[in-house]
Amino acid sequence: MSITVHQFPCLSDNYGYLVRDDATGQTASIDTPDAKAILGELEKLGWKLTLILNTHWHADHAGGNEEIKAATGCQIVGPAEVERLSPVDRKVSGGDTVDLGQTRFQVIESGGHTLQHVAFHSAADHAAFVGDTLFALGCGRMFEGTAPQMWDSLQRLAALPDDTRVYCAHEYTASNARFALSVDQDPVLKTRTDEIFDKRSRDEWTVPTTIGAEKATNPFLRAPMLRPDLAPHEAFAAIRTAKDNFKG
């Protein structure tokens, strides 16, 4: 049992992900940022789409659902909030499982950026698709949820094994790195940000990251260490507010 993940940049800073279950050839698109780009990649690879897995309702994640379903006949699985944009075939929330051939994804509740945001985790493949909840050195803005909700969501992701590859939906890493350096002087962070600026100067991807790397250097996960004077979710809220106001 294994998956092949095909990653490609689309829109201005999104990543598209096509995930193929190697045993059966069944293929899922994680979110649908750009229908034309996704259909083009499927064509190029010769993969047949069976499933869309939506993390949340924003247009750069679910905006391509209808066009892709019309073109492929795939099923759409996601949180109920996606129906603000278009119909969903199966609504899921934390604790559910979704099968793609022989690959099983656990649905992890990860609300905060939007209220019903979910992540999809394949334990066997050490892979998590986290939408706009956790980024390399960052986390999503809280458009709908509260700091305690977002903190709990991040803790559920941080509890996954350290070697879990984290497929974030955006390449925001360089700007996240500039902010991280403004709140954290840790030498391990400095080493990582040097590598990130280097990679981005060559236009290389910094995603996927890993749970281990994020636990070691992500200022949002490290909030209780950075603000030991505050309760953990308050420390997180303080760092999130600082990032919202950061002009770097």
Window 120-149: residues binding Zn ion (CB under 5 A): 132
- Around Cβ 229, how many Cβ atoms within 10 Å? 8
Residue in 31, 34, 125, 132 annotated catalytic: 132
The helix (H) or strand (E) run that includes residue 241 is helix 232-244
Which residues lie across from 171 on neighbouring strands? none
Q: How far is the CB of 31 from Fe ion (least distance, A)?
A: 8
Q: How far is the CB of 234 from Fe ion (least distance, A)?
A: 26
Nearest CB to Fe ion, comparing residues 60 and 184: 60
| Distance in angstroms (rounded) separating the CA atoms of residues 175 and 169 | 15
Residue in 21, 61, 117, 121 annotated catalytic: 61
Question: Of these partners, Zn ion, Fe ion, none, which one is at the site of residue 109 (CB under 5 to 8 Å by kind)?
Answer: none
Q: How far is the CB of 60 from Fe ion (least distance, A)?
A: 4
Nearest CB to Zn ion, comparing residues 132 and 171: 132
Question: Of these partners, Zn ion, Fe ion, none, which one is at the site of residue 34 (CB under 5 to 8 Å by kind)?
Answer: none
113 labelled catalytic? yes
Residue in 21, 31, 34, 58 annotated catalytic: 58
Report DSSP state, residue 10: E
Nearest CB to Fe ion, comparing residues 41 and 60: 60
Three-class SS of residue 173? helix
Residues 6 or more apart whose Cβ sits within 8 Å of residue 45 = 6, 18
Length of the chain: 248
56 labelled catalytic? yes
Straight-line distance from the first to the last Cα atom of the chain, in angstroms, rounded to the nearest whole number: 44
The yes or no reply on residue 58 touching Zn ion (CB under 5 A) is yes
The yes or no reply on residue 41 touching Zn ion (CB under 5 A) is no
- Across the beta sheet with 3-10, what order do the strands follow? 3-10, 14-21, 27-30, 49-53, 75-78, 90-91
| Distance in angstroms (rounded) separating the CA atoms of residues 44 and 6 | 11
Q: How far is the CB of 22 from Zn ion (least distance, A)?
A: 30
Residue in 21, 31, 34, 60 annotated catalytic: 60
- Sites of contact with Fe ion (CB under 5 A): 60, 132
- Taking a C-beta distance cutoff of 8 angstroms, is the pair 26, 101 a contact? yes
β-strands 138-139, 118-122 pairing: unpaired
Nearest CB to Fe ion, comparing residues 34 and 132: 132
Residue in 113, 117, 121, 233 annotated catalytic: 113
Window 68-97: residues binding Zn ion (CB under 5 A): none
**Residue positions annotated with a catalytic role:** 56, 58, 60-61, 113, 132, 170
| Interacting residues with Zn ion (CB under 5 A) | 58, 132
